[in-house]
């Protein structure tokens, strides 16, 4: 996380809600020779996240008991040109939102796999309403069983939520708003229009 505390002042509930909304991140553990990483969808259920890995994934092979792990969730981000602040003696930077879930990755029993897969698909299918929700009973059951044998369920027990919302809060309001406007037009990064809107929604420093 960014060392400047002004970028780390977002409350835990907001950061966790953001991670849940994104629902996709990078799972990391310490391997025996190097870090092991996997890009995963997940669904948050209270103080845990539910996920699955293909059994041939190096993390799935390595984790046989509760293991320290981290899920890094990235949000909108963009390059920021120093010219946009209309201030002297500025430098280029990058604005972004990121949330880290810190905890333990725990193997689940195979009996939990079906429920976890259903929770995952239901989480994202319901976001597509009014499209009819896809459910597993639409599959041939023998084909589903074959695929499920290749997958291992896990839960991620969340011990800590750390976040960085780097949105030029350290700049004067006029400079932040000027940068936000240009970010929305720049096209450098991801979800730049959303990032611009979030930056513009920050309450002015002199507001009560």
Tell me whether residue 14 is in a domain.
yes
* Cβ–Cβ < 8 Å for 97, 198: yes
In this prediction, residues 71-75 reach a mean pLDDT of: 98
Tell me which DSSP letter residue 111 carries.
G
Residue 205 lies in a domain: no
pLDDT tens digits for range 102-141: 999 999 999 999 999 999 999 999 999 999 999 999 999 9
Cα separation, 84 vs 66, whole angstroms: 47
- Secondary structure (DSSP) of 16-79: HHHHHHH-EEEEEEE-SSSEEEEEEE-EEETTEEEEEEETTSHHHHH-SS-EEEEEEEEEEEEE
Please tell me the least confidently modeled range out of 8-12, 102-106, 164-168: 8-12
pLDDT in tens, 169-186: 999 999 999 999 999 999
Distance CA 57, CA 72 (A): 18
Overall average pLDDT of the 51-61 stretch:
97
> Do the domain assignments include residue 207?
no
Asked if the structure places residue 49 within a domain, the reply is yes
Confidence at residue 208, expressed as pLDDT on a 0 to 100 scale: 43
Residue 147 maps to a domain: yes
3-state percent helix, strand, coil for the chain, nearest multiple of 5: 35, 35, 30
**Residue 55, domain CATH:** 2.30.110.10
Inter-residue contact 135 to 121 (CB < 8 Å): yes
**What pLDDT does residue 81 have?**
98
Q: How many residues does the chain have?
A: 208
Continuous segment of H or E residues that includes residue 166: strand 151-166
Least confident of 3-12, 105-114, 199-208: 199-208
Q: Give the residue from 23, 150, 12 showing the smallest Cα distance to 74.
A: 23
Number of domains forming the structure of the chain = 1
From 1-5, 58-62, 105-109, the region with the lowest mean pLDDT? 1-5
> How far, in Å, are 55, 73, 105, 106, 112 from residue 65 at the CA level?
15, 24, 8, 6, 16
Q: Which residue has the higher pLDDT, 66 or 208?
A: 66
**Domain membership flag for residue 208:** no
> Residue 206: its pLDDT value, please?
62
Is 115 part of a structural domain of the chain?
A: yes
DSSP state of 127: G
Q: What span, in angstroms and rounded, lies between the C-alpha atoms of 148 and 59?
A: 17
Query: By the 8 A CB rule, do 60 and 53 touch?
Result: yes
From the number of C-beta atoms within 10 Å of its C-beta (0-12, 13-18, 19+), residue 131 rates as: exposed
Q: Reply yes or no on whether the pLDDT at 197 is more than 90.
A: yes
Q: Which domain holds residue 141?
A: 5-200
Confirm whether 110 is domain-assigned.
yes
Question: Whole-prediction pTM value?
Answer: 0.92
């Amino acid at each position: 996380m960014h060392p400047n505390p002004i970028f780390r002042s977002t409350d835990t509930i907001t950061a966790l809600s953001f991670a849940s909304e994104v629902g996709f991140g990078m799972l990391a553990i310490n391997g025996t020779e190097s870090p092991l990483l996997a890009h995963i969808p997940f669904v948050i259920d209270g103080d845990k996240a539910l996920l699955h890995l293909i059994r041939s994934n190096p993390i799935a092979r390595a984790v046989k008991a509760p293991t320290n792990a981290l899920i890094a969730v990235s949000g909108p981000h963009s390059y920021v040109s120093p010219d946009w602040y209309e201030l002297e003696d500025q430098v280029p930077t990058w604005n972004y939102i990121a949330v880290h879930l810190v905890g333990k990755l725990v193997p689940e029993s195979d009996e939990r796999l079906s429920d976890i897969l259903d929770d995952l698909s239901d989480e994202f299918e319901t976001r597509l309403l009014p499209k009819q929700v896809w459910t597993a009973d639409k599959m041939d059951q023998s084909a589903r069983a074959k695929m499920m044998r290749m997958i291992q369920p896990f839960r991620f027990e969340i011990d800590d939520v750390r976040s960085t919302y780097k949105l030029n809060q350290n700049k004067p309001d006029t400079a932040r708003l000027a940068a936000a406007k240009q970010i929305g037009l720049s096209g450098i990064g991801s979800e730049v229009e959303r990032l611009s809107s979030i930056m513009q929604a920050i309450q002015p420093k002199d507001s009560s």
